[in-house]
Structure formats: C-alpha cells, structure tokens
Amino acid sequence: MSRFPNPLKAVVLVIGLGLARLGVIDRERAVRTTELAWPRIVTGLARMSKSVVDVAMVGVAVGTSAIAGVGFAGPFWGLAFALGGGVAGGTLALVSQRYGADAFDQLGVAVRASTVLVVVISVPVTVAFWLYPAELVSLLSDNRRAVEHGATYLQIVGLGIPLAGLNLVGSRTLVGVDDAYTAMQVRAGGAVANIGLNAVFIFGLEWGVAGAAVGTVLANVAVTAVFVVGLVSGSVPGIGRFPVQISPVGTYVDGETIRDLCRIGLPIGARNLVWTVAEFPMFAILDVFGESTVAAFVIARRIWALMNAPGWGFGLASSSLVGQALGRDDERTATLYGRDIIRFSVATYVVSAVLVAIFAEQVVVLFAEDPTSPAIPIAVDLVYAACVAVVFQGVGGAAAGPLDASGDTRVPFVSQFLGVFFGAIPLAYLGATTALGYWGLYLAFFAEAGVPAAVNYWRFRLGKWKTISEAYRPDSAIADD
C-alpha cells in the first residue's frame, strides 16, 4: 500500500520529535504514535470540515434559520455516532488485544458480532426519525422556519445512521490492527465526496437543507461499500490491500463476544451520548438568547470539532497501541504509551488552538450569507473561549485511550457526564437567566472539557485499568502466562 508525503503528518511528527528532544516523551513511541495518529487526524479534519462546509453552504444558500434548523437536528444525528461509536469502541478494544496476542482467528467473530449489534440498535432510530422528524425537532424550538428546515434534514439524514455505525466498526477494525492509513483513505475520501455532492445538491439543484442530507447519506453508502469489499476480499481497487481479511461466513451472534462488546461499548456509547443528550436542553437554553445566538453556537461548535480533530488520532492511537501491549501482557509498555501520548496530545492541541484563535474572525465570516449578521461577533467570542478550553480536551481524550483499550470505560463516561450536566448545562442556564450572560456559554466550554480531563487523568495515573484489562485479553495471551 502506497504512502504519500503529508504536511499534517510532518507537523505532528515535528511536534513529537521536539518533545522527544526535550526529554518529554520517548522518540520511538513518538514516531509510532504519529504513524497511527496522523491518518486519524486527517479523517477527523475531513469529516469535521464536511460538517463545517455543510453549515456554511446551508447558511449561504438559505440563511440563519437554516443553520439553526440543522443545529436543532444535530443532536438527533449525533445518535448515529453515540450508538455506532459505542459498539466500535468495543470492536477496537477486542481487535487490538487479539492482534497484539497474534490471536488472528478471533478477529472475525469480533467484527461480525459488532456488525450485527450496530444494525440491531440503529435501525429503530432510523424508523423513528423518518416517521416523526417534525415532532422531534419541535421539542427544541418553536421557531417555525428553523423547525421546518431541521425536520427536513433529520428525516433524510436518518437513513444514513446504520451506515455511519457500520463505517465506524470498519474504521476501528483497521485501527486496531495498526492501519489507520487505510481507514483514513476510505473515510476521508467519503467526506470529500460528501462535500462535492452537497455542493451539487445545495447550489446546483437548489435543494437546500435536503441537499445536505442527501449528500451525507450517499457518501455513507459509498464508504460502507468500500469497507465491506475491503474487509471481505482483502483489497479495494485504487486503495490497495487491507491488513486483515474477515470472512462473511461464520458466527455472527456469539454470546460471549456480544457481552464483551456491550460491557466495553455501552459506557463508550453512553459517553458519546452525553453531549448528544445535553444538546437538547442546551439548544432550549440557547433559544432563550435568540436565533442569532443559536446560529453562533452552531458555528462555534463546528469549529470546536475541527480543533478537536487531534483527539481522534491520539485517542485511537492510544487505544490501539495500549491495547496491543496489554494483549502481550506488557503492562509497562502500555503505561508508557499512555503517558507519552497524553503529553504529545496536549502539545498538538496547543498548536491547533493558537492557529484557530489567530484566524477566528476570518473563519467565522465564511458561515454567513450577510457578513454583518449579529451572529458573527457572538460566534467569534465563543470561538476564542473554545480555543482556550479545547486544550483540556487533549488531556481528557488521550487519557481515555488506555481506559478504553483496557475495558475500563465507565470512568470516562462518568467524567463526561459530570462535565456536561453538572458543569456546562448549569452554566449556560445561568447565562440565559442571570447577569452572567454570554460568560455562561464561555465557561460551559471549560466545564465540558476540564472535568473529564481531571477525572480521566486521575484514573489513568491510578493504574486500575491494567487489572481490569485482564478480563478482556484473548485466551491465547492468558494461556502464555
């Protein structure tokens, strides 16, 4: 499989090697982490850029009410990544440990069981979104125009939820066997195709928010097809060979594997679901501020997601590398990888946040049909707050990687829950109802990121996750003890 020079990889590697020269992290671990992390960061940037471009295109083509409508539909679409991401988190933990223990015969069962689980839990959600889109979106706002746009978007985009979940399982399978590059090619390629399709549907065919939704669904169809072909046949024309081949013939409903996936994946899914659920009261609170604030918040959250792209890479690199070390019963190496990746992640987040802060005003203006919109200055201030708070994401996300790899997934869920429901939401509410005003929204970013950073890092340093991992290590590794 070919590799091409990538500027982002070079930047990440320079940061890692700089830290290694200062004695902050180990050089070899910096290089290996970069190899796994940078493709995932590219994927994150591509997918988040797609989300950013969606909002920008809709804003330019339709207006502020359309941005608000897509924002109101966002929590429901987020269910795709909460549900699918939970199962895929379990997939990564099981696959990486089996790969590290050379228990290749057990990989197929884990992937097939993950596929069944994703379909079973996501199809009912798709049906609900198709039948009751307006009723669901109207729970968040009584803004008629925004609700209409949101319902249109939700009804169509809901068709892609099972596909999005399957894509996550395919991606995590490849990351678990040390190949984030192929996963990047597939998913980032899908994101780029999504942007192109949206441009055609939104501007060319003038379908508005419906065009954005159709583009998302079709892109997910294409990505799912590529993962299926690649994992079953072992290669895809134009992409090359996959590092693992999964037979479609075999056990799909293995009780023990499904129980492991649920035990590991349920807290991960719940953690992903925390912000999705929190968006419901958050958008109800934002509606008190007015439509301009809702639109500004949607813009700021999209930019926040872009800044958080390094977390995609470092979190999954940590899960994979720590999981492989645990599969070999090498707890010392697992700990060292976890420690170094946290430090590496924080340094990279600082660079990302500084760059976004410098160009915040120019970026925010790209979302507006009217550059004089009252949403613009509100969004800029929110972005500045996010630039400071997002550094804590570097700690929380990277510290969660070893916990996810070991099966100790409840603590990251609890930390996220506390940060959002006992920090961000109350602060936002105080902002809407007291003289705290917009400072409530600024502080909400800090609470959302800071609490998980403190709790996850404490749990990592405690080391209990290494003991917990023993219950999920493959039999072949345990037999070698």
Domain spans of the chain, in order of start? 7-474
pLDDT tier, 370 (very low <50, low <70, confident <90, very high otherwise): low
Q: Between 415 and 315, whose confidence is greater?
A: 415
Residue 322, beta-bridge partner list: none
Neighbours of 132 (CB within 10 A): 14
Distance, in Å, from the CA atom of 314 to the CA atom of 293, rounded to the nearest integer, reads 32
Q: Which residues of 44-187 form beta strands (DSSP E)? A: none
pLDDT tier, 98 (very low <50, low <70, confident <90, very high otherwise): confident
Q: For 83, left (φ over 0), alpha (ψ -120 to 50), or beta?
A: alpha
The answer to whether 327 and 100 have CB atoms below 8 angstroms apart is: yes
Element (H, E) at 242: none
Q: Between 367 and 298, whose confidence is greater?
A: 298
Here the tokens at position 178 are 């040390």
Here the tokens at position 139 are 């729970």
In this structure, what is the dihedral angle of CA atoms 168, 174, 180, 183, given to the nearest 10 degrees? Answer: -50
CA 17 to chain centre: 26
Q: Between 330 and 445, whose confidence is greater?
A: 445
Coil vs helix vs strand at 236: strand
Predicted TM-score of the model (pTM): 0.68
What residues contact residue 476 under an 8 Å CB cut-off, 6+ apart?
101, 102, 103
SS3 for 69-110 is: HHHHHHHHHHHHHHHHHHHHHHHHHHHHHHHHCCCHHHHHHH
Q: Is the dihedral of CA 71, 160, 194, 145 positive or negative?
A: negative
The 10s digit of each residue's pLDDT in 149-196 is 788 888 888 888 888 888 888 888 887 777 777 877 788 788 788 888
pLDDT tier, 480 (very low <50, low <70, confident <90, very high otherwise): very low
pLDDT tier, 382 (very low <50, low <70, confident <90, very high otherwise): very high
Q: Between 93 and 303, whose confidence is greater?
A: 303
Distance, in Å, from the CA atom of 51 to the CA atom of 45, rounded to the nearest integer, reads 10
The answer to whether 299 and 445 have CB atoms below 8 angstroms apart is: no
pLDDT tier, 479 (very low <50, low <70, confident <90, very high otherwise): very low
Q: Is the dihedral of CA 262, 266, 272, 273 positive or negative?
A: positive
Question: Is the pLDDT reported for residue 201 higher than 70?
Answer: yes
Distance, in Å, from the CA atom of 275 to the CA atom of 450, rounded to the nearest integer, reads 14
Share of the chain above pLDDT 90, in %: 18
- Closest to 408 in 3D by CA, of 314, 326, 313, 309: 326
pLDDT at res. 5: 46
Q: Which residues of 247-402 form beta strands (DSSP E)? A: none
The 10s digit of each residue's pLDDT in 31-57 is 988 887 877 777 766 666 666 666 667
Question: Is the pLDDT reported for residue 2 higher than 50?
Answer: no
Distance, in Å, from the CA atom of 26 to the CA atom of 11, rounded to the nearest integer, reads 17
Distance, in Å, from the CA atom of 313 to the CA atom of 307, rounded to the nearest integer, reads 12
CA 72 to chain centre: 19
pLDDT at res. 267: 75
Give the length of the chain.
481
pLDDT tier, 80 (very low <50, low <70, confident <90, very high otherwise): low
Q: Which residues of 155-269 form beta strands (DSSP E)? A: 235-236, 240-241
- Closest to 314 in 3D by CA, of 342, 295, 293: 342
Residue 241, beta-bridge partner list: 235
pLDDT at res. 306: 80
pLDDT at res. 478: 41
